[in-house]
Structure 1
Amino acid sequence: MDNYEFGALVEGNFLLYLALIGIVGIVYFLLYRKVIVGILDPYFIYVVSTVFAVADVFLLYFVNGITLYYFTHFLLTQAAFLVGFFMLKVFRNKVITSASENAHKYDDRTIRNILILVQTIVFLLFFIIQVYVYLVNGIPLFYESRLDFYSGGGGFGFMARVLMVLSLFFCYLFLLNTFRYAKTLTFLWRLFFGGMFLFYLSTLILSGGKSSILVPLSVFFAFLYTSGRRSLITNITNRYFWWFVLGLLALVSIIILVQSTEEEAVFPILAIFYRFIVSGDVYWYTYPNDVIRTYNITANGFAWLFNDILGLFRFMSWKDFGEHPGVYFYSYHHFTEVTKGPNMRHNVFGLLFFGYFGGIVYSFILGLLQSFVRFFLSSVRSNNVILNFIIVYLFVQSPAIEPDVTLFLFSVNNLLLILPVLIVFLFLSVAIYNLKWSVKSIFQ
């Protein structure tokens, strides 16, 4: 079943579809009401997407679009994921301390200067790489596929990895320094801070990703949530709720106006609604008519899970993996010259590579992994800047575990690759600061 056929299915059963969204939405609201903390929570948008995806499957089953075999497997894997996710909920309101031995080695003023120096160095590197990419490769906002933007060699794939981590590290440092030291900065430093952040925001818009503009809000939430400022999140959300909603709708609409077809540009709100509907596109690509069985498996599930790290370090050749299943299932139904495809949600990925019962176990493990990040890691409190950033980074990326865990693992691989550089930046900033004061003391 292609997108047009499913669109016609929704149109012909619109009231039923709305009823399914409402019922599934109530169930997920009851499940997540004590987990999600307002609209700023990175998990909010993913849970809404999941509600639509689940409703898609129910609609397919109720109109006899899929067999009982696929429907029951979907229900079992979805339930297994939820069971795994709530396994570690007991840590939600606990605090796990991890105090640094060097917490009091420097006074607060010295720490402030070092952190501002780290932020400046990180921003300058981010600025140089990003501008270089724009000058050589153009603006991704105007590309039909962002997958094609960083492909084709020239080191742009690696640059994408660096930019991904550096941008989040900069955003984290900006929030850290703003919350701690904004009142102690001079007007010029505040102006410089504002300029850095405006450039960072502009890169998110120019990236062309509909969800990219949510990144700073997600980092902001994760920064407050993992540092124990959860009451502040509630206060901010309640006070500025409609401003957030209107602002996000406006930004997403602008991106849709630039990227989408003439029809979508005229009705951007309907286009946003459509984006939620296609959260479950992989289900109508694979379940009807047993299309999932037509994919030729050339690499096992574990290889596909870790294909990024295996391919990057040449443990396996990219040719050994064959065609990506998401790309295959999309091209099975649609003719396209652009590289695109659905997210391989855990239900489909598990069934495809691990079988009926193996897929259920796989979904449970992924739920447990997301639970570990959401409940356990977010409870860790430390004075270590790098450790806190790692927690914030994983927290922001972890909602992707359910729709496509390979995206989460891709983010983890990027962090592991760039983390040594971030540590070098931190030590370099300390060395520069100490050298500055050593030289100054010589000439006094």
Structure 2
Amino acid sequence: MNTAEFFELLINNNLIYFSCFVGVCLFYYFLFRKVCFSMLDPIFISLVGSAFGASVVVFLFATSAISSFYFINYLATQFAFLAGFLFFNKFSPAVFIKSKIKFDNVFFLQCFFVVSFITFFLSNITVYATLGIPLFLKSRLDLTVDAGGYGIFTRFAEISGAVAFYLFLHFIIIEKNVSRLFKSSLFFYLFGHIVVTFLSGSKSSVWFFAMNYFCFLMLNKNNPRVKDLILKLRQYQLKIVLVGLIFAFCIILVTFDGDPSNAFLFLAQRIVGYGDVYWHAYPNAYIEKLPHDHFFIAVFSSFLGFFRIVDSSAFPEPIGYSLTKMFYTVDMIVGPNPRHNIFGYIYLGPYFSILYSFILGTSLGYIRKLFLNAYSSRIFSKILLLFFYSIFIGIETDINYIFFQLNNILVVIPFLLGISLLVYYFFIFPIENKLSKF
């Protein structure tokens, strides 16, 4: 079923879809209301997307657009994923991370911050100069298509920006005893990051600040100053979400030349579109026509390709792209995300896909457990866990993209640390020599 056919089915059965949507959302609410305790928790967006996708499958079954076999397999894999996630959140013992890496020196952290935000700005300027400003492109995907070697700067911008923002919060909230010059650099960075956020053209870019702020508070919740901020965050989180929605809508308005009707239509399509892979794959058994070889390479292709372990010609065709070609003529790699239900069914079959979904759910639950109990860890460990948690919340959507983002960490973090250490020792050694002579 192509997208036009699905939306025609939805319009003709809008009450059925609305009933399915409300029912699924209520189910998710009662299941996770004690697990996800803030709308700014990154897992909240993941659960919202999961609920939107589930409502599409229920709607397709309610309108007899898919067989009961696929519906039962979807329910089995989805419940297995959710059960695995809840298992670690409710029954696993508390796990504390105690890193042996001691990068908590205040001056080193200042060097780490400066190197990170300079890398962030230089990477974005390079992207704008060579590939264009994302806000003014017809599609943000155009930014990295045929980008050549310049695509690496988008990786550096993403990771260095997150590191800089975490350290910005650290110096604003916890470590306040810094020079006026350094405080000026903090606010210069913040202003620049806000400008870059707007120019990025991403509808969800404002969530970067809100969610990373939430994560920072959780990672430092044993600090007395942070405890008060957590209470305030709970009071104002709804207002923050509304601001984020308004910002996203403004970005959409710019994209559609200020036409509010097209903007609202696009927003509605994006919400329903969380389940696009399901209306492509399940009806008329199109899922059976997809290539299903090389499971290991399909999972780890981003990692294997990045480090040239396996030649890219050996990679299986992306599931979303294969589905898209069945309905449209395309000249570039586009398509829906291969959510775990579809990916597992294709490569492992209807039975082992249930185990696969459970393993993914437990992985996410384990990472979240580590994240929530990392408040006694060192700063560098907290930053790494922030990255891992932010990455693994997308494990339900696209397993391969998880390894793509892990590649970014493996490349960018050592670079930032190496440059920061060089800067640190460049300044600190002369001081130590003078003190020893004195």
**Contact persistence 1:54–1:280 (CA under 8 A):** yes
Distance 1:219 1:385, change over 3 A: same
Gap runs ≥5 in structure 2: none
**Contact persistence 1:88–1:376 (CA under 8 A):** no
Aligned to 1:152, which of 146, 149, 154? Answer: 146
Gap runs ≥5 in structure 1: none
1:302 is matched with which residue? 296
**Contact persistence 2:87–2:365 (CA under 8 A):** yes
Shift of 1:259: 2.6
TM-score, normalization by structure 2: 0.91
Aligned to 1:291, which of 264, 286, 305? Answer: 286
Q: What are the Cα deviations for residues 269-298 of structure 1, in whole angstroms up to 9, with x where unaligned?
A: 44323211100000001100111122234x
Distance in 2 between the 1:331 and 1:209 partners?
26
Q: Secondary structure at the match of 2:393?
A: helix
Q: AA paired with 2:49? A: S
1:199 is matched with which residue? 192
> Is 1:225 matched with 2:221?
no
Q: Secondary structure at the match of 1:133?
A: helix
Q: AA paired with 2:149? A: G
> Is 1:13 matched with 2:13?
yes
1:138-177 paired onto structure 2 within 5 Å: 138-177=132-171
Distance in 2 between the 1:373 and 1:201 partners?
29
Shift of 1:70: 0.6
Shift of 1:442: 7.8
User: Which shifted more, 22-31 or 185-194?
Assistant: 185-194
Q: Secondary structure at the match of 1:403?
A: coil
1:407-418 paired onto structure 2 within 5 Å: 407-418=401-412
Distance 1:262 1:123, change over 3 A: closer
**Contact persistence 2:299–2:399 (CA under 8 A):** yes
2:173 is matched with which residue? 179
2:51 is matched with which residue? 51
Aligned to 1:317, which of 311, 320, 329? Answer: 311
Question: What is the identity percentage for the equivalent residue pairs of Structure 1 and Structure 2?
Answer: 29
> Is 1:252 matched with 2:245?
no
Shift of 1:241: 3.0
Q: Secondary structure at the match of 1:390?
A: helix
User: Which shifted more, 336-345 or 282-291?
Assistant: 336-345
- Number of residue equivalences: 435
Distance in 1 between the 2:90 and 2:65 partners?
40
Aligned to 1:276, which of 267, 271, 274? Answer: 271
**Contact persistence 1:84–1:371 (CA under 8 A):** yes
Shift of 1:213: 2.5
> Is 1:366 matched with 2:360?
yes
Q: Secondary structure at the match of 1:155?
A: helix
> Is 1:240 matched with 2:233?
no
TM-score, normalization by structure 1: 0.90
Q: Secondary structure at the match of 2:201?
A: coil
Shift of 1:433: 3.8
Shift of 1:116: 1.5
Structure 1 stretches of at least 4 aligned residues deviating more than 6 Å after TM superposition: none
Q: AA paired with 1:266? A: S
Distance in 2 between the 1:380 and 1:213 partners?
25
For the aligned residue pairs, the C-alpha RMSD in angstroms reads 2.5
2:69 is matched with which residue? 69
User: Which shifted more, 331-340 or 210-219?
Assistant: 331-340
Distance in 2 between the 1:283 and 1:232 partners?
44
Shift of 1:409: 2.0
**Contact persistence 2:391–2:405 (CA under 8 A):** yes
